[in-house]
Amino acid sequence: MSWSISGIYRYDVLLAYALVIQVFLVYFKLETPREVWVIAIFHIMAMALELFLTHPKIGSWYYPEQAIFRIANVPLFAGFMYSAVGSFLARGLRLFNASFAHLPNLIWVSLLVVSSYVNFFTKFFVPDIRNVLFIASIILFWKTRVFFQINHETNLQLRDAKQYQLFFLPLLLFLAFLVWLAENIATFANIWRYPSQENLWHMVGWGKLGSWYLLLILSLVLVLAVMGKRDARGSWQLI
């Protein structure tokens, strides 16, 4: 059963809302053209993942309602759910003047994220290497720290604001947990459902945290590659 008003479906309303927000961010220069470009890449990659995982022969999850604007089984708003994560990361880096220390070489990190993305497809046909990817991510980011500034006074110069730091891996896990909570809200609201939730809703399994953890690394690498520069010592700064 689809939620609709005068023939306008909920998924199409969500798409219109996402487009309005995107135009707002660009018009008021809250996102730069380069940031929009990298978020668009993530959007396309996410839609490819959605099309594969919602295919009837795979059936990892499904969208129970109708939509006019859709590709196969995937309403077009779905890609914005992923690109919103990239937008959040990009905006957060600038808002808190973030920098990184001991950031791994982007070649190794890129190898990790490409392997993670490919594994989302291949795990249905060959052994799942997710645990290997988790171990690799811990090895790569074990020493990585994030530095950020919180400036509550509008007249305070950013260079005078107090700087804080966090280890990257716990922060990444916390962000994955927040996305997992959002996923539970979305499935409860019947935005999408997993097969086990078809007859009765229940909390999404903790195992999904791992998927969001790897997708967050993918999103972050795309954002870091566009928004900043890493030096030979592993320090990353906004540009």
pLDDT tens, residue by residue, 123-180: 999 999 999 999 999 999 999 999 998 865 544 555 566 889 999 999 999 999 999 9
Rounded to whole angstroms, the Cα distance separating 61 from 223 reads 27
User: Which pLDDT score, from 0 to 100, does residue 160 have?
Assistant: 61
pLDDT above 90 as % of the chain: 69
134: closest CA among 115, 158, 121? 115
User: Which pLDDT score, from 0 to 100, does residue 6 have?
Assistant: 66
Residue 204 structural domain:
4-238
- Hey, what are 205's tokens? 């399994």
> Are β-strands 70-71 and 74-75 bridged in parallel, bridged antiparallel, or unpaired?
antiparallel
The SS3 call for residue 237 is strand
- Where are any strands of DSSP class E within the chain? 4-5, 8-9, 70-71, 74-75, 99-101, 145-149, 163-167, 228-230, 236-238
User: Which pLDDT score, from 0 to 100, does residue 155 have?
Assistant: 46
Buried b (16+ CB within 10 A) or exposed e, 195-215: eebeeeeeebeeebbebbbbb
Task: Residue count of the chain, please give it.
Answer: 239
- Hey, what are 226's tokens? 């566009």
pLDDT below 70 — which residues of the chain? 1-6, 151-161
User: Which pLDDT score, from 0 to 100, does residue 154 have?
Assistant: 47
User: Which pLDDT score, from 0 to 100, does residue 4 have?
Assistant: 63
Rounded to whole angstroms, the Cα distance separating 47 from 44 reads 5
User: Which pLDDT score, from 0 to 100, does residue 33 have?
Assistant: 87
* Global confidence as pTM: 0.91
User: Which pLDDT score, from 0 to 100, does residue 1 have?
Assistant: 53
Quick one: CA dihedral 38, 100, 82, 20, positive or negative?
negative
Q: How many domains does the chain have?
A: 1
